[in-house]
Amino acid sequence: MNRLIALDMLRGYALVSIMVNHMPISAMRQVTLPNFSIFDASEMFVLLSGFLVGIVWRAVEAREGRRMAQRRFGRRAFEVWRAMIVGAVLMALLSAALLALDRPHTAIWNQYAIWILDNPLGFAGTVATFWVQPNIIDVLALYVILIALSLLVVPLMLRAPWAVAGASVLLWWYAPGLNAMVPNHRVENGFLFNPFGWQMLFFTGVAMGLYRERIMATLWPWRHLLTVLALGMFAFGSAIVIGAKIGEPGLAFRQALKLVYGSIDKWSLDGTRYLAIVAAAWLVAVPFARPMEWLAATRLGVALQQIGRGGLLTFVACVLLSVLGDAMQMTPAGQTIWRRLAVDLWACLALWWIAALWLQHGAPWQRARKAAQAARAEARRRLPPLS
């Protein structure tokens, strides 16, 4: 259970980081993960989501069978798809309202505001078909595809994990070319978050959730060596980021590093970012497990847990608060860092408040509704057949 509360805290941090990092002149943006790590909150979100899929799938299948697990995640894919559409529409409407009030913002493309007013059903339809993937909300488009794929991939992973791993790596290798074949409104085609590449990280997380005891039992004798390697990989990624910030004096250093890593491509998930987030996962789960448990039990950790448990509602709230906070920081122009920091803190408190309200009122209602639906379905299943 302690490990799970730490995961909730990390998911909450990922949402806060996504919110702040999409506010271009945010004060808190200068101290978030991408400032000292080669990966960012997107990798955290996808890996943790995969891990939780693995944990939940195994528990549901053991208790109710594989078909019920597939039904559950099929329903979850639909819920994420629905949240993507609702979130995109609300985000575009908020953008239109802010522009009408002369509140400029750069967190998202202002064209969405024009489209939603000119043709609201058309805009919603293009989002629903993945033809348009509005920024910030676009990670949900990736999430829909990955959860839907899990209905087929997880049963294969339980039967032949190494074969699935090999196929996943092969798909990742050819990801840029495959993504370019997917038509949409972008000139270069394809999803912004390339699902052919990001699937490898997601299903790595799924495998960690499905086989966590077996994995830890196998790796535990090598934990000291693996910790050194993980620290080295994280430090290497940090060196790339810091080297980029140094500028001209660090040119030789950056060129030397580039001989090792080649190129960085977040959107197709390059190997350096993948190895760095996997290394960080090892560090969090093994050498830093106790500090993470302690941090998760602090007041700040509990607040982040609540944000992490808020589900799709908090993700949509995170998107809307990012746009609103950006507009508040940009007008009037030339705000001091303290005023921008006040907006950041307000957005974080608002996100926590929304999550806390949902956990207190919305989540129990949702669980009761789903339990009633399941009971009705079970009752129908037990009815004797008509003669």
pTM of the full structure: 0.93
Residues 59, 209: contact at Cβ < 8 Å?
no
User: Closest Cα to residue 291, out of 4, 6, 1?
Assistant: 6
Give the separation between CA 303 and CA 297, rounded to whole angstroms.
10
Could you identify the residue written with the tokens 């196929």? 167
Q: Find the length of the chain.
A: 387
Give the separation between CA 221 and CA 227, rounded to whole angstroms.
11
User: Closest Cα to residue 157, out of 193, 222, 202, 197?
Assistant: 202
- How far, in whole angstroms, is CA 79 from its chain's centroid? 15
CB count, 10 Å around CB of 31?
A: 10
* Phi/psi at 283 (5° precision): -60, -40
Residue 53 host element (H or E): helix 41-64
What pLDDT, in 10s, does the model give residues 46-55? 999 999 999 9
Task: Please tell me whether residue 300 adopts helix, strand or coil conformation.
Answer: helix
- The DSSP secondary structure of 287-333, one letter per residue, reads TTHHHHHHHHHSHHHHHHHHHHHTHHHHHHHHHHHHHHHHHHHHSSS
Structural domain spans, the chain: 2-373
- Side chain identity, residue 49: S
Residues 47, 280: contact at Cβ < 8 Å?
no
Per-residue pLDDT of the chain (387 residues; tens, 9 = 90+): 345 799 999 999 999 999 999 999 999 999 999 999 999 999 999 999 999 999 999 999 999 999 999 999 999 999 999 999 999 999 999 999 999 999 999 999 999 999 999 999 999 999 999 999 999 999 999 999 999 999 999 999 999 999 999 999 999 999 999 999 999 888 889 999 999 999 999 999 999 999 999 999 999 999 999 999 999 999 999 999 988 888 778 788 888 988 999 889 999 999 999 999 999 999 999 999 999 999 999 999 999 999 999 999 999 999 999 999 999 999 999 999 999 999 999 999 999 999 999 999 887 777 777 667 666 666 666 766 655
